[in-house]
Protein backbone atom coordinates (compact mmCIF):
# COMPACT_ATOMS: atom_id res chain seq x y z
CA UNK A 1 0.00 0.00 0.00
CA UNK A 2 2.79 2.43 0.88
CA UNK A 3 4.56 1.69 -2.41
CA UNK A 4 1.33 2.28 -4.33
CA UNK A 5 0.72 5.60 -2.58
CA UNK A 6 4.26 6.72 -3.31
CA UNK A 7 3.83 5.85 -7.00
CA UNK A 8 0.55 7.80 -7.16
CA UNK A 9 2.18 10.85 -5.57
CA UNK A 10 5.17 10.64 -7.93
CA UNK A 11 2.90 10.23 -10.96
CA UNK A 12 0.83 13.24 -9.85
CA UNK A 13 3.97 15.35 -9.58
CA UNK A 14 5.08 14.33 -13.08
CA UNK A 15 1.68 15.28 -14.46
CA UNK A 16 2.04 18.65 -12.75
CA UNK A 17 4.89 19.51 -15.15
CA UNK A 18 7.83 18.81 -12.91
CA UNK A 19 6.57 20.43 -9.73
CA UNK A 20 4.74 18.93 -6.83
CA UNK A 21 1.79 20.63 -5.16
CA UNK A 22 1.37 19.39 -1.62
CA UNK A 23 -2.14 18.14 -0.96
CA UNK A 24 -4.42 17.45 1.95
CA UNK A 25 -2.84 15.40 4.77
CA UNK A 26 -4.82 12.41 6.00
CA UNK A 27 -4.12 12.93 9.70
CA UNK A 28 -2.67 15.57 11.98
CA UNK A 29 0.73 13.90 12.30
CA UNK A 30 1.11 13.53 8.53
CA UNK A 31 1.84 17.21 8.13
CA UNK A 32 2.05 18.82 11.58
CA UNK A 33 4.08 18.55 14.75
CA UNK A 34 3.47 19.73 18.30
CA UNK A 35 5.66 22.72 19.14
CA UNK A 36 4.43 23.64 22.61
CA UNK A 37 3.13 21.49 25.48
CA UNK A 38 2.41 18.09 23.96
CA UNK A 39 0.44 17.16 27.08
CA UNK A 40 -2.15 19.78 26.10
CA UNK A 41 -2.81 18.53 22.56
CA UNK A 42 -4.85 15.34 22.20
CA UNK A 43 -5.48 13.39 19.03
CA UNK A 44 -9.04 12.30 18.30
CA UNK A 45 -10.46 9.84 15.78
CA UNK A 46 -7.11 8.31 14.94
CA UNK A 47 -5.45 11.67 14.45
CA UNK A 48 -8.04 13.06 12.04
CA UNK A 49 -8.96 15.68 14.65
CA UNK A 50 -7.22 17.23 17.65
CA UNK A 51 -8.18 18.93 20.89
CA UNK A 52 -6.20 21.94 22.17
CA UNK A 53 -6.26 22.57 25.92
CA UNK A 54 -5.59 25.75 27.90
CA UNK A 55 -5.41 25.63 31.69
CA UNK A 56 -3.50 27.44 34.42
CA UNK A 57 -0.43 25.32 33.72
CA UNK A 58 -0.04 25.96 30.01
CA UNK A 59 -1.45 26.69 26.61
CA UNK A 60 -0.27 24.77 23.55
CA UNK A 61 0.60 24.99 19.89
CA UNK A 62 1.47 23.10 16.72
CA UNK A 63 3.10 23.84 13.37
CA UNK A 64 3.42 22.34 9.92
CA UNK A 65 6.49 20.24 9.22
CA UNK A 66 7.15 22.16 6.01
CA UNK A 67 6.87 25.73 4.77
CA UNK A 68 4.93 26.78 1.67
CA UNK A 69 5.20 29.57 -0.88
CA UNK A 70 1.72 30.50 -2.14
CA UNK A 71 -1.36 28.32 -2.13
CA UNK A 72 -4.35 27.74 0.12
CA UNK A 73 -4.50 26.62 3.73
CA UNK A 74 -7.71 25.79 5.59
CA UNK A 75 -8.83 24.11 8.79
CA UNK A 76 -12.14 23.41 10.43
CA UNK A 77 -12.14 24.78 13.97
CA UNK A 78 -14.65 24.58 16.82
CA UNK A 79 -13.85 27.35 19.27
CA UNK A 80 -14.06 27.50 23.07
CA UNK A 81 -17.70 27.57 24.25
CA UNK A 82 -19.18 29.67 27.03
CA UNK A 83 -17.06 32.16 28.92
CA UNK A 84 -13.81 32.31 26.95
CA UNK A 85 -12.80 35.87 27.87
CA UNK A 86 -9.04 36.41 27.89
CA UNK A 87 -8.25 33.49 25.59
CA UNK A 88 -6.87 33.61 22.06
CA UNK A 89 -7.09 30.79 19.56
CA UNK A 90 -4.78 31.55 16.65
CA UNK A 91 -4.40 30.06 13.16
CA UNK A 92 -1.73 31.72 11.06
CA UNK A 93 1.12 31.51 8.57
CA UNK A 94 4.58 32.80 9.51
CA UNK A 95 7.95 32.99 7.77
CA UNK A 96 9.69 32.42 11.12
CA UNK A 97 12.26 35.10 10.34
CA UNK A 98 13.35 37.45 13.12
CA UNK A 99 13.68 40.80 11.34
CA UNK A 100 11.96 40.80 7.95
CA UNK A 101 8.91 38.79 8.93
CA UNK A 102 5.95 37.86 6.78
CA UNK A 103 2.82 36.67 8.60
CA UNK A 104 -0.89 36.15 7.91
CA UNK A 105 -3.01 35.93 11.08
CA UNK A 106 -6.39 34.67 12.17
CA UNK A 107 -6.82 35.37 15.91
CA UNK A 108 -10.09 34.39 17.58
CA UNK A 109 -10.63 36.54 20.67
CA UNK A 110 -12.57 35.01 23.52
CA UNK A 111 -15.67 36.63 25.00
CA UNK A 112 -18.01 36.66 27.92
CA UNK A 113 -20.98 34.34 27.48
CA UNK A 114 -23.62 35.82 25.24
CA UNK A 115 -21.28 38.22 23.46
CA UNK A 116 -20.21 37.71 19.84
CA UNK A 117 -16.88 36.09 19.06
CA UNK A 118 -14.42 38.49 17.43
CA UNK A 119 -11.89 37.41 14.81
CA UNK A 120 -8.87 39.64 14.33
CA UNK A 121 -6.80 39.44 11.15
CA UNK A 122 -3.37 40.95 10.68
CA UNK A 123 -0.80 41.00 7.88
CA UNK A 124 2.95 41.39 8.14
CA UNK A 125 4.77 42.12 4.88
CA UNK A 126 8.54 42.62 4.73
CA UNK A 127 8.68 43.06 8.50
CA UNK A 128 5.85 45.59 8.83
CA UNK A 129 2.62 44.59 10.60
CA UNK A 130 0.10 46.55 12.67
CA UNK A 131 -2.59 46.05 10.02
CA UNK A 132 -5.33 44.77 12.33
CA UNK A 133 -8.97 44.42 11.35
CA UNK A 134 -11.66 42.96 13.59
CA UNK A 135 -14.94 41.34 12.63
CA UNK A 136 -17.70 40.03 14.90
CA UNK A 137 -18.71 36.60 13.66
CA UNK A 138 -22.38 36.31 12.66
CA UNK A 139 -22.77 32.83 14.16
CA UNK A 140 -21.68 30.92 17.26
CA UNK A 141 -18.30 29.40 16.29
CA UNK A 142 -18.28 27.21 19.39
CA UNK A 143 -21.49 25.35 18.51
CA UNK A 144 -20.00 23.51 15.52
CA UNK A 145 -17.01 23.35 13.22
CA UNK A 146 -16.50 26.15 10.69
CA UNK A 147 -13.91 26.44 7.95
CA UNK A 148 -11.24 29.15 8.10
CA UNK A 149 -9.09 29.65 5.01
CA UNK A 150 -6.10 31.70 3.88
CA UNK A 151 -5.71 32.06 0.09
CA UNK A 152 -2.33 33.46 -0.96
CA UNK A 153 -1.29 34.02 -4.55
CA UNK A 154 0.63 36.61 -6.57
CA UNK A 155 -2.47 38.81 -6.88
CA UNK A 156 -3.88 39.03 -3.36
CA UNK A 157 -4.34 37.47 0.06
CA UNK A 158 -7.88 36.58 1.10
CA UNK A 159 -9.12 35.44 4.52
CA UNK A 160 -12.30 33.36 4.34
CA UNK A 161 -14.79 32.22 6.96
CA UNK A 162 -16.95 29.42 5.53
CA UNK A 163 -16.19 30.65 1.98
CA UNK A 164 -17.19 34.22 2.94
CA UNK A 165 -14.27 36.63 2.40
CA UNK A 166 -13.71 38.85 5.43
CA UNK A 167 -10.40 40.42 4.41
CA UNK A 168 -8.59 41.15 1.15
CA UNK A 169 -5.02 42.46 0.83
CA UNK A 170 -4.11 43.20 -2.77
CA UNK A 171 -0.69 43.07 -4.35
CA UNK A 172 0.08 46.76 -4.89
CA UNK A 173 3.82 46.43 -5.35
CA UNK A 174 3.52 48.70 -8.39
CA UNK A 175 2.76 51.46 -5.85
CA UNK A 176 5.73 50.48 -3.65
CA UNK A 177 3.49 48.74 -1.10
CA UNK A 178 5.08 45.57 0.32
CA UNK A 179 3.52 42.22 -0.48
CA UNK A 180 4.77 38.87 0.88
CA UNK A 181 6.01 36.79 -2.04
CA UNK A 182 9.63 35.83 -1.42
CA UNK A 183 9.60 33.99 1.91
CA UNK A 184 7.89 30.64 2.43
CA UNK A 185 5.68 30.42 5.49
CA UNK A 186 4.79 27.63 7.86
CA UNK A 187 1.29 26.97 9.18
CA UNK A 188 0.82 27.44 12.92
CA UNK A 189 -1.85 27.35 15.59
CA UNK A 190 -1.80 28.21 19.28
CA UNK A 191 -4.22 28.43 22.20
CA UNK A 192 -3.06 30.79 24.92
CA UNK A 193 -3.97 33.32 27.60
CA UNK A 194 -3.90 36.99 26.58
CA UNK A 195 -6.24 38.66 29.05
CA UNK A 196 -4.13 41.83 29.03
CA UNK A 197 -5.63 42.73 25.60
CA UNK A 198 -7.82 40.01 24.04
CA UNK A 199 -11.30 40.84 25.37
CA UNK A 200 -12.48 44.45 25.44
CA UNK A 201 -8.90 45.66 25.38
CA UNK A 202 -8.01 43.71 28.51
CA UNK A 203 -10.95 44.84 30.64
CA UNK A 204 -12.36 41.30 30.78
CA UNK A 205 -10.00 38.87 32.51
CA UNK A 206 -9.82 35.12 32.16
CA UNK A 207 -11.92 33.13 34.64
CA UNK A 208 -9.78 30.14 35.53
CA UNK A 209 -12.71 28.49 37.30
CA UNK A 210 -14.02 27.76 33.77
CA UNK A 211 -10.83 25.93 32.78
CA UNK A 212 -9.86 23.79 31.00
CA UNK A 213 -10.64 25.74 27.82
CA UNK A 214 -10.97 23.46 24.80
CA UNK A 215 -10.77 24.10 21.06
CA UNK A 216 -11.06 21.44 18.34
CA UNK A 217 -9.50 21.16 14.88
CA UNK A 218 -10.06 18.81 11.95
CA UNK A 219 -9.88 18.56 8.13
CA UNK A 220 -6.40 20.02 7.80
CA UNK A 221 -5.99 21.09 4.17
CA UNK A 222 -2.78 22.47 2.69
CA UNK A 223 -2.40 22.92 -1.07
CA UNK A 224 0.69 24.86 -2.03
CA UNK A 225 4.34 24.81 -3.06
CA UNK A 226 6.40 23.07 -0.39
CA UNK A 227 9.80 24.47 0.55
CA UNK A 228 12.20 22.81 0.19
CA UNK A 229 10.80 21.58 -3.09
CA UNK A 230 11.01 22.20 -6.83
CA UNK A 231 12.10 25.81 -7.38
CA UNK A 232 9.75 26.23 -10.34
CA UNK A 233 6.59 25.60 -8.34
CA UNK A 234 5.97 29.05 -6.83
CA UNK A 235 6.40 30.88 -10.13
CA UNK A 236 4.34 28.45 -12.20
CA UNK A 237 1.21 30.18 -13.49
CA UNK A 238 -0.36 26.77 -13.97
CA UNK A 239 -0.96 26.35 -10.25
CA UNK A 240 -4.72 26.33 -9.75
CA UNK A 241 -4.64 29.12 -7.14
CA UNK A 242 -2.98 31.44 -9.70
CA UNK A 243 -5.75 30.93 -12.25
CA UNK A 244 -8.01 33.75 -13.45
CA UNK A 245 -10.82 32.51 -11.19
CA UNK A 246 -8.70 33.28 -8.11
CA UNK A 247 -7.07 36.56 -9.15
CA UNK A 248 -9.96 38.65 -7.80
CA UNK A 249 -13.15 38.06 -5.83
CA UNK A 250 -16.03 36.60 -7.78
CA UNK A 251 -19.21 38.72 -7.97
CA UNK A 252 -20.94 36.76 -5.19
CA UNK A 253 -17.82 36.88 -3.03
CA UNK A 254 -17.58 40.65 -3.53
CA UNK A 255 -21.18 41.08 -2.36
CA UNK A 256 -20.53 38.95 0.70
CA UNK A 257 -17.35 40.89 1.43
CA UNK A 258 -19.21 44.20 1.36
CA UNK A 259 -21.89 42.72 3.62
CA UNK A 260 -19.28 41.69 6.19
CA UNK A 261 -17.56 45.07 6.15
CA UNK A 262 -20.84 46.99 6.42
CA UNK A 263 -22.49 44.85 9.10
CA UNK A 264 -19.83 43.04 11.11
CA UNK A 265 -16.54 44.95 11.00
CA UNK A 266 -15.86 46.65 14.34
CA UNK A 267 -12.30 47.86 13.82
CA UNK A 268 -10.14 48.79 10.82
CA UNK A 269 -6.65 50.20 11.25
CA UNK A 270 -7.17 52.17 8.04
CA UNK A 271 -9.70 54.42 9.78
CA UNK A 272 -7.93 54.67 13.16
CA UNK A 273 -6.65 58.26 13.04
CA UNK A 274 -5.33 58.09 16.60
CA UNK A 275 -2.83 55.43 15.47
CA UNK A 276 -2.41 56.62 11.90
CA UNK A 277 -2.86 60.39 11.45
CA UNK A 278 -1.55 59.76 7.94
CA UNK A 279 -3.55 57.03 6.22
CA UNK A 280 -1.35 54.00 5.46
CA UNK A 281 -0.57 53.82 1.73
CA UNK A 282 -2.17 50.41 1.21
CA UNK A 283 -5.46 51.79 2.51
CA UNK A 284 -5.41 54.51 -0.15
CA UNK A 285 -4.39 52.04 -2.85
CA UNK A 286 -7.22 49.71 -1.89
CA UNK A 287 -6.90 46.68 0.33
Rg (CA), the chain: 19
Q: In Å, how far are 26, 147, 162, 164, 268 from 282, measured between CA atoms?
A: 38, 28, 26, 22, 13
End-to-end CA distance of the chain: 47
**Catalytic residue selected from 103, 193, 204, 242:** 103
Residue 253 annotated among the catalytic residues of the structure: no
Short-list 42, 52, 40, CA closest to 189: 52
Residue 132 annotated among the catalytic residues of the structure: no
Partners of residue 12 on adjacent β-strands: none
Angle at CA 9, nearest 5°, toward 4 and 14? Answer: 125
**Catalytic residue selected from 107, 204, 242, 282:** 107
Coil, strand or helix at 19: coil
Strand residues in the chain grouped as ranges (E): 32-36, 41-44, 49-54, 60-64, 67-78, 87-94, 103-109, 118-124, 133-136, 146-152, 156-161, 164-170, 186-193, 213-227, 265-268
Angle at CA 121, nearest 5°, toward 119 and 122? Answer: 155
Angle at CA 147, nearest 5°, toward 225 and 31? Answer: 40
27: left (phi over 0), alpha (psi -120 to 50) or beta: beta
As a three-state string, the secondary structure of 199-249 is: CHHHCCCCCHHHCCEEEEEEEEEEEEEEECCCCCCCCCCCCHHHCHHHCCC
Catalytic residues: 103, 107
Amino acid sequence: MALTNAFVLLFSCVLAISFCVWGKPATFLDDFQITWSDSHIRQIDGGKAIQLVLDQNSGCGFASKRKYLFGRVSMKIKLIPGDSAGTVTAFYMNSDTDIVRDELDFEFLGNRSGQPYTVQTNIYAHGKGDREQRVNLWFDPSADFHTYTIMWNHHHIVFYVDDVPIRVYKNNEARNIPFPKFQPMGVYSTLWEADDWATRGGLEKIDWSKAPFLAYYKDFDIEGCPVPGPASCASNTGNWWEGSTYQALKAMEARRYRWVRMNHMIYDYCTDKSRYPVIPPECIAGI
